[in-house]
Structure 1
Amino acid sequence: MAKTIKFNLILDNQPVRTIDELRENFSIEDMLKYFKNGFLLRWLKVREYEEYQAVATIDSSSHNKDIVLALIDIFNIPDVDIADVEEVASMIEYQEQTTKLNEIYAENAFDKKQVIEDYHAGYDNLILHMEENSRNVGVLKADILQMEKEYAKLFALNY
């Protein structure tokens, strides 16, 4: 019978071998990445942790925030600020969308008109997102950082 090879997760630049170490080094970005690429489930299964079943039931098509909140609940992570979760999840979703758009641009040989239209549509969508979440400080902070990073010149022109 073949021996199962155990591997470590790297959370917050620390090798993680146990659930306790996972709790100590919990990183939203790292955990979301490991959940989405399937390494978290494999790690739990190889080490025969009971949390495997709970993590396996999380819908991978859910919003990043919902996935992270479910992971926080499953692993009983203490002292988590929900505003931080929302902010980081929004930033990660933005990065994922940007990566998808870059792939589309590469396929379309950088059609300038399409790039400009998409840029303006992204700005408009960000404004709409801010209006829809005007009472959610965590999301607004993430959107403002995104506005500053990606749309500062367009904002200045629009202002």
Structure 2
Amino acid sequence: MEQLALEGKIRQKIYGKQKIYFADQSQFPEVKDADLKAMDCQISDLNTQVQSITSSCRQLDTELKELNSSLTTEQIISEIQDLKAECAEYRARLDKIKSATNHVTPEEKEKVYKERTVYVKEWKKRKRLASDMINAILEGYPKSKKQFLEEAGVETDEDCNVIVPST
């Protein structure tokens, strides 16, 4: 740095034991205030242009991402063919069901519904009885209900994500 200062390329100032080096500003021509204001206006105009170009680039990037994530024409044609084939399979299955002669009679249907009602009532009854027994045990049990059920190995309907159907 001292060598550059001796050559006159940079300037040096000494403050006690410290030396400060800086660019020699005398090599640049003097600029008038009007020129500085014109440059400031030009800078602000360029900043505005940069912002508008940046926002349009973001918009174009967003549009590009949307286009890249959408299906191509070939993929759409393939998807349509797959859906038509699936629809044809369902139509054939529906025709087979409609043409079947072994339909369930209303008596059989009613019998099944009655059996279901009986089983659901029994399920609710047994669930209530089990719940009453567990609550009776928990009255004198020092731990929580969850810990008791875990220790006893009891699985509830809620643990298995089962909902008791309505009757």
Asked which structure has the greater RCO (Cα within 8 Å, sep 6+), the reply is 1
Larger radius of gyration: 2
* TM score, norm. by length of structure 2: 0.20
* TM score, norm. by length of structure 1: 0.21
